[in-house]
Structure 1
């Protein structure tokens, strides 16, 4: 602590006292010259001669304090005061030692006694004010600094700490004025530059704040706090890479900073470097194991790394410590949603809202969960309640727009999404969902540009995997003749099958086409016309001039409903495998129908698009042979499938899409829910009846209200009239099968 009071001279009365006085004077000289060890040795000799030498005791305490030995300092100063209780300076110095020991209330008592005995003293008022500041008694601290400044108007420390207190009281303009006065008196005061940056940051003047931090660091290059604060403002300015470097510099001299490690984790999360972010978060937790913010952040990172069960365990541990912490309940709700436990997630967010009924983020989460449960009216009410709390909340307007689209109120939905983007032009989720809605409505002109926002929608996680390529992105604006272009899969198998149709168009323009796809599709797509090479994802890539993700090709080619390319067959099955399946199936005695009843169980809307096996098996009738094209059979369906003699099944033999394609070639018709086999059948030109959920739930590519598809000429769409009711849909399919539609396909 700055500022201590000196002791008084000692008057000798006898030879021992004279020797002690000489040693004491020698110690004081060493002390004044900064030679603390020699000063302490001299004071020790004095105390051997005169154990109750008040000033030696006092000065020993002062020297111990200056050496950072605060408990020893307090002990010696107390000994001096026991002998001479009315030494005002000693009370002040005892206050300094107690303050460094964190015993602020005791320190205050010492300072007040010092002021009683010695009268107004600028240093004592200053030190007392800093103790009040540490206790969070800011108004009293401010009064103390004012008194110190009245006695010493140019006291730089008092001006600086006064500004810190004003900042805590959110009196930022006054704080800035105080700091400007400090720097006018002493431009080289690094801590004042740092504090000025903090005030400017809170005033929203981020660029000026950055300049102040830079000024502090030019004076003290290893100034950890300034590096840390610089990192914060760089995050605000949208410069995460620079912020990361700043946090690294902050941690170099101060690796025990939990806040530094935590903020480093936050910025790594912004950069989507999730494993590194988790490692930084773990370092922060080593230093502060019970910090709820860091524990919550760890749970969030585990979720982003798809370690949802571990995230839930971590959050439940935090919840056991803080069962009524709404922030933890909110994050737990998010994690449960990722685990597919929607009802449990809703229960968790309801608990959070019971504790914080008007919290904007919790209302958004509740609305999103209700939307997932297709409880659209309740979801809309939740989003509108969020807007009552924050009328200019872009996310709430965006979510409101999405649920209005679900309700078929498309004009209102578009207006809400448009307004969300007026409020928050960078809100990728609003743009992406507006794109999905326009595509669902068949408006490709407006929908496809917005669909490109998928790369920036963080909650999509790794589903839309944006990759870094040295080759530039091609979106149709430059000629491709004579150039090598990489087309790469980005989403599911069905998406790859649907959009690989564009590859021959590029070859027709003179491009050399390299196709990178999921391993299960490599063999099948190697026969796609115009493709020079098909590589599995993860393989080494050759040099290319341009690159384009498959789902950006419709935008690049200016696709509209009336110019979708290759709506007929553009893939072929391997003739040898087709023949082999013919032998397995044997002679056909009637229409042969391939069936698929379920898709990926992790799909967000799987429970609305998939069927139990028994429902599809009900299509069997005399004269119609059902063949299961289902590769992955769920355990409950597997038992039923093995005992059902009306459906032939070959799931063990469907080792890749080549086998599935060859088996499809041997059936007359495919009846399937919305999964990759629907796209495979359509790409092969095989008649395919696709069973779709009702409302606005179907994927955008099937659009609304159509019984046909512009993507596949051979497709017929069977839609639910009411969401969740498959009975009428299957009855129509059964009637069409019995009416001979399968034989005519």
Structure 2
């Protein structure tokens, strides 16, 4: 967690003894300088002399939190609150720790206690707003943001945070106005420039978005977010030559779902001869990313390398027959010896991929005939066309709030002229209740079935209808006819203003208009199904 600066006189009650006073001043100085281990020893020394010393207990809790010892920090925060019940700074610092640890409900509770004790505590209001935003409790977060703008209207970070909240709420014009205000207050505010670029991208003002990313990079060339977000904009626009190069900045992004792998072996990006050498190709991010990029494995093998692929175990049945893989290992498996490595999603850069040179021959994945036979027998024959259906992705994906629909939004468009097969095995109670009320929507998967079972349903269906999730890539890699539903601003791989995908020839894309309404998309999908299958 970030270092919490200690300010003399703010919530502190120095002991009467001169010795304790001197140690406390030294400890605070060490703490503020970042020498946490020495500060901890000094605070411990005070507690050995005065076990109920509030300041030493509180500040040692802060140090323990900063050192990552959350269990000990919680014990000390509890002790500090026993000595000084309801102390705003203790609750604020404990909330900061809980937020950094991902314990969002606990963080909200602590920030709320801090605000009860100090209603104008800007730090607690700001952090509670950010935490509620992360929990998608947008209305509550916005209420805190309103209070902050009254308390600190001249603080550019207040306007930047408000704007990011408005962006998440898809109130884009209001978000843009708040970012403008933040930048007027602080013209070199790289985070606000980068964030404004993201709003402009979602408004499809790509030239202005790229200009903001470039401005942020000019101010701080090491600011990864601007380079990474520019890569997304360029890839969306089909500028693969420049987009792939900047895409490598993803490893500096704190929110990337896959950490950078720090191997001793060198990274290969197509810049050296690999004939006769062993290369590790390792998966990253989601299942869809692996499925999309695994197509490059035969090309790597054709360069004369021995290819080791590290991928999630759930994909191994699909990857086992892919030409070019010499050894397949799981994400938690022991890696064999290798000479070089490359993340799978860096292979488009390694091969200089352009829109025109995407290796788009499909199918390149296959599913076990036994699994197909199992599910064909289990479901029996159908007199109606079968359509496999997926309406949501992984909620942990930062893009999920845009790409996922709700069953309640799309169910009115599920025609009874088709047998719809749900591809989700983890239905929520409301989804299961709604699905049970729709006779023509079957839910054959449950907690005892795996990803390969869902793939089999795609394989035996006449067509796949899905949002942008791994099933879109599965359908494409299996060369199954698929209709993929996209948000107004899609992920980079689907590009802009086209109904086909250069990555998957059997796929048709259906895009939201600026109203961002899934009902409109499902109307278009229903019309396409009618065109293909008639009455």
Contact 2:27–2:40, Cα closer than 8 Å, also in 1: no
The residue aligned with 2:236 is: 440
Unpaired runs of at least 5, structure 2: 1-13, 47-55
- Offset at 1:429? 1.6
Larger Rg, first or second structure (1 or 2): 1
Matched, 1:491 2:280: no
The higher-RCO structure (CA 8 Å, 6+ apart) is 2
The residue aligned with 2:168 is: 372
CA–CA separation in structure 2 for the residues paired with 1:438 and 1:635: 40
CA–CA separation in structure 2 for the residues paired with 1:100 and 1:537: 54
Aligned match of 2:37 in 248, 264, 283? Answer: 248
Matched, 1:399 2:191: no
Q: Superposed, which structure 2 residues align to 1:213-224 within 5 Å? A: none
The residue aligned with 1:699 is: 491
Over 3 Å counting, the alpha-carbon distance change for 1:726 and 1:391 in structure 2 is: same
Aligned match of 1:563 in 347, 357, 372? Answer: 357
How many equivalent residue pairs?
505
- Offset at 1:265? 5.2
Q: For 1:658, what is the secondary structure of its paired residue? A: helix
- Offset at 1:247? 3.4
The residue aligned with 1:356 is: 152
Over 3 Å counting, the alpha-carbon distance change for 1:550 and 1:322 in structure 2 is: farther
String of CA shifts for 1:526-573, please: whole Å, max 9, x gaps. 222211232222222223222222222222222221112245211101
Q: Superposed, which structure 2 residues align to 1:297-312 within 5 Å? A: 297-312=93-108
String of CA shifts for 1:663-690, please: whole Å, max 9, x gaps. 2111121011111111111111111100
Q: For 2:309, what is the secondary structure of its paired residue? A: strand
- TM-score of the superposed pair, with normalisation by structure 2: 0.85
Q: Superposed, which structure 2 residues align to 1:625-640 within 5 Å? A: 625-640=419-434
CA–CA separation in structure 1 for the residues paired with 2:406 and 2:64: 47
Q: Does 281-290 or 340-349 show the bigger shift?
A: 281-290
Aligned match of 2:514 in 703, 711, 722? Answer: 722
- Offset at 1:391? 1.5
Unpaired runs of at least 5, structure 1: 1-98, 104-133, 135-190, 192-221, 233-242, 269-274
CA–CA separation in structure 1 for the residues paired with 2:439 and 2:24: 77
- Offset at 1:260? 7.5
The residue aligned with 2:339 is: 545
- Offset at 1:259? 5.6
- TM-score of the superposed pair, with normalisation by structure 1: 0.62
Matched, 1:326 2:122: yes
Q: For 2:387, what is the secondary structure of its paired residue? A: strand
Over 3 Å counting, the alpha-carbon distance change for 1:284 and 1:504 in structure 2 is: farther
The residue aligned with 2:275 is: 481
The residue aligned with 1:131 is: none
The residue aligned with 1:468 is: 262
Over 3 Å counting, the alpha-carbon distance change for 1:623 and 1:472 in structure 2 is: same
String of CA shifts for 1:49-68, please: whole Å, max 9, x gaps. xxxxxxxxxxxxxxxxxxxx
CA–CA separation in structure 2 for the residues paired with 1:437 and 1:310: 37
Over 3 Å counting, the alpha-carbon distance change for 1:397 and 1:478 in structure 2 is: same
Contact 1:224–1:253, Cα closer than 8 Å, also in 2: no
CA–CA separation in structure 1 for the residues paired with 2:139 and 2:361: 41
Over 3 Å counting, the alpha-carbon distance change for 1:636 and 1:226 in structure 2 is: closer
CA–CA separation in structure 2 for the residues paired with 1:252 and 1:728: 63
CA–CA separation in structure 1 for the residues paired with 2:89 and 2:224: 26
The residue aligned with 1:428 is: 224
Structure having the higher helix fraction is 1
Aligned match of 1:525 in 319, 343, 348? Answer: 319
Over 3 Å counting, the alpha-carbon distance change for 1:405 and 1:583 in structure 2 is: same
